[in-house]
Amino acid sequence: MSHRFLVLFDFDETIINESSDDAVVRALPGQQLPDWLKNSYREGHYNEHMQQVLAYMAEQGVSKESIHSAVEKIAPTPGLLALLQYLQSHQQDFELVVVSDANMYFIKTWLEHAGVCHLFRKIFTNPASFDASGHLVLLPFHSHSCSRCPDNMCKQVILREYLAGRQKERGGASFQRVFYIGDGANDICPSLALGPRDTAFPRRDFPMHRLLQEMQQNQPTKFKANVVPWASGEDIVDCLKKVMEER
């Protein structure tokens, strides 16, 4: 029996309640970055900036254990664990995927600590692992030609390739509905690939929500999916329960 629904999750400020990159900086002796490093960030080159941050942390002697524990301590977004519990209790209906511009080490560490890693069929994110010298090395996820997205990741490319690949593996069956849960500006691009039966869940009053509101005013025909803003994972559960009743 193949899943009827696909649910895609962003990670930072969607599954967890802050940016994992910011949380990890607290493992530094002074708990913050020096100004020269903060100011070296260039728009659209966040992945590169984060590579420098991790290199700086290694130079400052921050251990793998401190990074690990800083990641584990990050709080989940309100109601998010209740949402994952609901999805687990309806595992036969929902396939879950993470699509995030964070990195594999942070995401796996957090999901395993929360006991929910097994719920996700796939995690799409930037590769990261510790090298022999104990330095966490971050790489870009892929290259693409989308002008809207940062160099290292277009979430729409990931979503389209995943849907096409899964349709083949499922013997030509596509998902009945796709749900996309996010908060950031880079969650708009994949949401544009959703159809009229699908739903985008922007976190209320975060950039994705504000940008979608603007788009709905200025280009109402451009966005095809339903939009359901959420403040807590419980809001998403309520919406999914209604969908489940529509069988």
How many structural domains does the chain have?
A: 2
Question: What whole-number distance in Å separates Cα of residue 190 and Cα of residue 15?
Answer: 17
pLDDT in tens, 210-234: 999 999 899 878 889 999 999 999 9
**In the predicted model, is pLDDT for residue 171 greater than 80?**
yes
Answer yes or no: is 235 a known binding residue.
no
**In the predicted model, is pLDDT for residue 14 greater than 60?**
yes
Contact 120, 94 (CB under 8 A): no
Answer yes or no: is 12 a known binding residue.
yes
Dihedrals phi, psi of 122, to nearest 5 degrees: -155, 145
Q: Helix (H, G, I), strand (E, B), or coil: what is residue 68?
A: helix
Residues 9 and 40 reside in one and the same domain: no
**In the predicted model, is pLDDT for residue 247 greater than 70?**
no
**What integer pLDDT is reported at residue 17 of this predicted model?**
98
10 is catalytic: yes
Instruction: Establish if 134 belongs to a structural domain.
Output: no
Assessment of whether the complete model's pTM goes beyond 0.85 = yes
Residues 147 and 234 reside in one and the same domain: yes
Instruction: Establish if 167 belongs to a structural domain.
Output: yes
Q: Which of 137, 141, 106 is nearest to 126 (CA)?
A: 141
pLDDT in tens, 43-57: 877 888 998 999 999
Q: Which of 58, 63, 69, 77 is nearest to 15 (CA)?
A: 77
- For range 205-213, the mean pLDDT: 96
Answer yes or no: is 21 a known binding residue.
yes
Q: Which of 12, 187, 198, 235 is catalytic?
A: 12
- For range 122-148, the mean pLDDT: 87
Ramachandran bin of 61, using left for φ above 0, alpha for ψ from -120 to 50, beta for the remaining angles: left
12 is catalytic: yes
Helices (H), 1-45: 20-25, 35-38
